[in-house]
Structure 1
Amino acid sequence: MGTLLLNGTFLFLLSWAGQNNVAKYTSADSVVTVQVEPKQENKPVIILEAFQILDSDGGSAEAILSMDKEGKCYVGKEFIGTITAAGELKSDTGKLLVHLKGNELLSNDGKVVLVIKEDGTISNGSGKDITWGSDGILKNMELSLKIAPVNSKAKRAASLLLYSFFGSTETEVQK
């Protein structure tokens, strides 16, 4: 009974400490091996915060693309899909279109289509990254677009939405 209590206490302490190693405890009548996984922070892949992508040349006062705080995305006023905090873009019918795994944007069949960094920088393998400037304007792209609010924390979501709308998931990033 004392050995069983000691084993249980030892396992509890290992799991509580969040160590990532294999621990062995041997007693006269048993051997216990425990693999303890590190605690995962529930840090979102995508920050869900309302934003709009506008024409930076002032040709239109209306948003070209937008996302609300629940991740619902629109072209103009038409609902087109949802971005989740887990980094998934789903169509208006709920079909998975693309998703982020680390910094890689993967098509629904698992092909890497490009890289979107946490700050929203887009790398497509061409050597010319597309970035959001401090003024909110998208740099190194033919389109004249800007994000509002300029200090949005959802630039990664904006890049995902932007690429999904204007880009193609038929291409693969060249590494």
Structure 2
Amino acid sequence: MSTALDNGARPAADDPFRGRLLDGLASSINERGYRDTTVADIVRDARTSKRTFYEQFASKEDCLIELLRRNNDILIANIVAAVDPEADWRAQVRQAVTAYVDHISARQAITLAWIREAPALGVVAHPLHRTAMEHLTDMLVDLSDNPGFRRADLAPISRPLALIILGGLRELTALLLEDGRDLREIIEPAVTASQAILGGR
């Protein structure tokens, strides 16, 4: 099972029950979807109790927000690790997009919960969304300010343009996930659009 807590991302000081509950939620989302997941499903998959759940999280929504926050942190780390800052800037764009697609392909239900379910939680999820977009924007700005980009005389991308790229990518991702299509279809349009924006300034 791939969860948002793969790759050793769980903090060393994390309560083991908290990690198990997040894994339980990830497992239930993969199996049932977020809307049909109950706290009973989470604790059953985590092999723990409702009492333990409520010692760690105020609600199912609170648990989801923490799961998505960690998943977004791993997404950013995976993209940064995949990009060679010395490579030609066009190659870097393809590396970043491919790493994004690899990550979401392994976490399709969790990705869709991030894009479609979390906003429906209302104001409680607003900090998650803002923080995720800020961190993703920071990542794009940082990635476009490295030797490969500087050799091409390209300035770092502006934050508004980075947000435009991210917003379009999120919507395309959601549409392909909802239609059950091959997520590799994201790669070429995302690379083309990103290269056009990054290289055309």
TM-score calculated relative to the size of structure 1: 0.28
Larger radius of gyration: 1
Richer in helix (by share) = 2
TM-score calculated relative to the size of structure 2: 0.25
